Amino acid sequence: MEKIIEQTREYLKNAYVPYSNFRVAACVQTKDQLYFGANIENASYGLSNCGERSALFYAYSHGVRKEDIQAIYVVTTADVITTPCGACRQVMAELMPRDAKVILANDDEIQTYTVEGLLPHAFDAESM
């Protein structure tokens, strides 16, 4: 776990954050591979993309599917552990197994959740 967190931390430098200066890096872990992403901002904030979604979309673009994903790591340099935003939680609920680990880290601590734990009663295909 520590090794993946350190690798993810390296991707903080790839974040494009000229407005918030709040860097987020994420890593999707499958059985065989790691897929990294960082947050990318836009002057029109609604067009920004969080690090979690960047990593998930990158993994899916390379053929990964829900059943392949074991965990997602989310790393920031914030003073407190930062949980994923609502949009990221919804995307995780769609693209990751409900029992997949969500590992959150900053410079001082690590917390582990599951997708289900972060978004119980998620809106999904069965809700339609």
User: Which CATH number fits the domain that encloses residue 103?
Assistant: 3.40.140.10
**Active-site pick, 52, 94, 116, 126:** 52
Residue 62's domain comprises 2-122
Average pLDDT over residues 95-111: 97
What are 63-90's pLDDT values in tens digits?
A: 999 999 999 999 999 999 999 999 999 9
Question: Strand, coil or helix: what is 95?
Answer: helix
Closest of 4, 18, 15, 2 to residue 53, by C-alpha: 15
Within-domain flag for 127 = no
Structure tokens at 109: 């601590």
Within-domain flag for 128 = no
Question: Strand, coil or helix: what is 77?
Answer: coil
CA end-to-end span of the chain: 37
Is pLDDT at 125 greater than 90 in this prediction? no
The total number of structural domains in the chain stands at 1
Residue 41, annotated as binding a ligand: yes
Within-domain flag for 25 = yes
Residue 116, annotated as binding a ligand: no
Closest of 10, 91, 18, 83 to residue 48, by C-alpha: 18
Average pLDDT over residues 12-21: 97
What are 22-64's pLDDT values in tens digits?
A: 999 999 999 999 999 999 999 999 999 999 999 999 999 999 9
Within-domain flag for 68 = yes
